[in-house]
Structure 1
């Protein structure tokens, strides 16, 4: 039924739990996993201790390295479970838009993603990528907490 699963990951503990669940789900359904990490571009100079500004190139390099680590963790889990896997890194100001587009581009028939479950002011300020994905895709979305 679900042959291609999109698994967005941000490297958090919650994403790691979602990865474990996705591997078991994919194994049971003989599915393949498409993992995606979205890097958001630096919009403003990041101020470090003492007022030092993080250079945009340095920021991008650090984010690319972290994103590769996130994808590699999913790749290792897929390899250990014998699950077909592809991993991608994208740069976008909107992670949710990138997730929806990646699902279309790769012919996914399910999106499995973790939700941090933010409420109140933190949800208002940080937004909800999961809610945005739910609002902008016609695919089934399995939300894991």
Structure 2
């Protein structure tokens, strides 16, 4: 039924729960996992006072977030290897994680997406938003949301 499952991860404990559930599911179903970590690049604010002054080196920042994303993926890849589950990993660079999740899922012809949600309510949900909600609104794939 689900031959290829996308799991986006940010390395958080909540994300790890979704990863664990997806590994267990894939093990039982014989599914392949595609694990994605989105590295958000440095955002340069050129119109700020003191424009042209970077609080940090943008190239170094971008390299560091890609390195962190790869570490998250390496951890998941090791867990899948221990469970005998087929796994591929992808680091994607983008300003909008939900767009990268949807794009990669479509490009890689995934059958489903497993992801975590913080389950925010009230004003937190309104102001912080939810990458999970955005994925749900922008994909036609089945999405299993874990809390």
Q: Give the TM-score normalised by the residue count of structure 2.
A: 0.89
Paired residue secondary structure (2:41) = coil
Task: Find out whether 1:143 has 2:145 as its counterpart.
Answer: yes
| RMSD of aligned Cα (Å) | 1.3
Would you say 1:56 and 2:58 are equivalent positions? yes
Structure 2, gaps ≥5 residues long: 46-53
Q: Output the CA distance in 1 between the equivalents of 2:122 and 2:40.
A: 23
1:27-52 C-alpha deviation (Å, 9 max, x unpaired):
0110000000111122147xxxxxx8
- Counterparts in 2 of 1:17-96, with a 5 A limit? 17-44=17-44, 53-96=55-98
Per-residue CA deviation, residues 54-104 of structure 1 (Å, 9 max, x unaligned), is 111121121011101110011011101111110000111111111111111
Number of residues paired by the alignment? 139
Hey, what's the Cα distance between the residues in 2 that align with 1:135 and 1:114?
Answer: 15
Q: 1:128 aligns with which of 122, 127, 130?
A: 130
**In structure 1, how many angstroms separate the alpha carbons of the residues matched to 2:57 and 2:128?**
24
Give unmatched runs, 5+ long, in structure 1: 46-51
| TM superposition score normalised by structure 1 | 0.91
Query: Could you say which residue in structure 1 is the equivalent of 2:111?
Result: 109
Mapped partners of 2:102, 2:57: distance in 1: 30
The aligned residue for residue 49 of structure 1 is none
Partner of 2:7: 7
